[in-house]
Amino acid sequence: MTNERVRPGPRRFVLLDVDGTLIDAVENQRRVWGVWAGRYGLDADEVHRVALRTRPMETFAQVAPDQDPEECLAALHELEDDDVRNGVYAAFDGAAELLGALPAASWALVTSNYEHRVRGRFARTGLPVPRVVVDATAVEEGKPSPAPYLLAAEQLGARPEDCLVIEDAASGVEAGLRAGMTVWGVNAAVAVVGVHRHFASLREAVPDILAFARPEGPAAPARDGCGAAGGGRP
């Protein structure tokens, strides 16, 4: 006797950036960096321009090289945490529909922010939080390193080639591509270099993301033990 079981169809996974992709935090980030810059007597616009393309420690090194970076980071964290509690946040159109429809074990968040802030923002906007959240503390190298996306795939039990990355920024797109994943860009008027597909908005991308996440084809029977199930070709 052999025990018959059902082998599920091929699984697909969706890995999503947060800020700029699911949550519209542009003005929040600008305000936080503006207040931070004011504390150090720096030009707010210049600081924000640098902060958009670098991690905080790299930003401090460029705009405030004479300051203690740990003190700079503590001040920034204080401002960001206050913003999560008191700032005004909005999810991009389509975010709630997308996250509510994705299979529970098939998606993850991959962010350069911190998980407690992501949870705070999601609570404020009514978005669900998945089992897997890869944040700034989870890896030594952030985007554009592939490490965050590879870790998310590992925690989901997914192969990189079965993962779809949804990003809005060049560093995230590069990270997904270097991880060997399919990368789609959203929420930008012009496609980021390298993306496999581009959508002007998240809302526009939702149907195709959900189609990607669905298993392909009918479930196939399989057996425990030797031999293939049924009489068809393997």
> 55: buried, middle or exposed (CB in 10 Å: 19+, 13-18, 0-12)?
middle
Cβ atoms of 165 and 190 within 8 Å: the answer is no
Paired tokens of 216: 């392909």
Which is nearest to 167 in space by CA: 60, 59, 17? 17
What span, in angstroms and rounded, lies between the C-alpha atoms of 118 and 109?
9
DSSP 162: G
Among candidate residues 17, 83, 135, 168, the one labeled active-site is 17
Catalytic residue among 19, 83, 135, 168: 19
Q: Is 77 left (phi over 0), alpha (psi -120 to 50) or beta?
A: alpha
44 φ/ψ angles, rounded to the nearest 5 degrees: -60, -40
Is 66 marked active-site?
no
Residue 81: active-site member:
no
Q: Where in the sequence numbering do the catalytic residues fall?
A: 17, 19
